Structure 1
């Protein structure tokens, strides 16, 4: 069964608004709203970018080879 909750609509300037109950909160501060007949559908925006992609990856289980950075120049802390 679909979760439902009675809410009240209110005015915020010239916009109609609603408060989203905690159990329906979205993670980000932006979303997409669309209309399907008399229904309003609010859905999160798919996160894009490197950080969002990296956040979906699981950690590596195997240790990294210590010799991988032998050919690299030392870090310069003066930057």
Structure 2
């Protein structure tokens, strides 16, 4: 499936926000989320959305448990055929 055409370049306004320079991003260039990674490539600035990490990344960051789990009886489910 082909990618949708990227919006044509558009002029945007720069302004000051306290000691930081900011840019007003036009609606057709909006990024998802609340924060971005910014990097420089020559005189270009590159903004990349920071996506929320999935469940596997969350679980990977947890420390392993040091305690053993108790044995659990394998009881049938009452009133249901389990096949």
**Could you say which residue in structure 2 is the equivalent of 1:59?**
none
**Could you say which residue in structure 2 is the equivalent of 1:18?**
23
1:71 aligns with 2:60: no
1:45 CA displacement: 1.3
1:4 CA displacement: 0.5
> Structure 1, unaligned stretches of length 5 or more?
51-69, 73-79
Q: Computing the radius of gyration over CA atoms, which structure comes out larger, 1 or 2? A: 2
* Over 3 Å off, 4+ runs: none
**How many aligned positions are there?**
53
**Could you say which residue in structure 1 is the equivalent of 2:9?**
4
1:38 CA displacement: 0.2
TM-score, with length taken from structure 2: 0.55
1:43 aligns with 2:48: yes
Q: How far apart, CA to CA, are the structure 2 residues paired with 1:71 and 1:33?
A: 54
Higher helix proportion (structure 1 or 2): 1
> Structure 2, unaligned stretches of length 5 or more?
56-75, 79-83
